[in-house]
Amino acid sequence: MAQYKRVGTLTYGAMSWLFLVCLALSLVFILTEKLLLVMVQDPAISAAAGKFAVQLIPTLFPYAFLQCIVRYLQSQSLIFPMVWSSLASLCFQLPLCWAFIFRFHLGNSGAAISIAISSWFNVLLLVLYVMYSPACQETQTPLSWDVLVIMRDFFYLAIPSVAMLW
């Protein structure tokens, strides 16, 4: 039973850690235009890419949460909820993206907005599934101080992982 509860605690720890990573990554997105200019890219393209990157910041957070929920469900071999939520999210995002880009004439901004909304929609569907599905009852755990221990463990794993990339 303790191992089942650990799955939930690990998921909370991963979500907390990735939330902090998203905050740091947001800074990189904000600085995208300047970074591209330093790399001697075309100023017009750098400006457009920088603007789009800033507009994509709201998509970082649902993507991080989505990845944690996906791993949580995969660890329990619950694949079909992810398939159905992805399909529902896609069916939601296609007309939304079309409306924002063509109907409301928002262009790239409309695409970024629709991506963010559909990502949060996908997260919401999976969270509702996890909350109300009997298949997830054993692994659900309340938020506790154990999450801080898990975050420390993730940090100790992150340092060697980053070192391997260099």
- 1 pLDDT band, cuts 50/70/90, is low
- 30 pLDDT band, cuts 50/70/90, is very high
Q: For the chain, which residues make up each domain, given as ranges?
A: 2-137
Residue found under tokens 């999450």 = 147
Residue 8: in which H helix or E strand, if any?
helix 2-30
- 83 pLDDT band, cuts 50/70/90, is very high
CA–CA gap between residue 101 and residue 9 (Å, rounded): 40
Region 2-22: mean pLDDT is: 86
pTM comes to 0.86
CA–CA gap between residue 65 and residue 52 (Å, rounded): 21
pLDDT of 134: 94
CA–CA gap between residue 160 and residue 158 (Å, rounded): 6
Tens-place pLDDT, residues 113-159 = 999 999 999 999 999 999 999 999 988 888 888 888 888 887 777 77
Region 49-61: mean pLDDT is: 95
Which residues, 6 or more positions from 22, have their beta carbon under 8 angstroms from its beta carbon? Answer: 60, 61, 64
pLDDT of 165: 64
Question: Comparing 5-9, 105-109, 142-146, 159-163, which segment has the lowest mean pLDDT?
Answer: 159-163
Q: What angle do CA 132, 133, 138 make, to 5 degrees?
A: 105
pLDDT of 14: 87
- 166 pLDDT band, cuts 50/70/90, is low
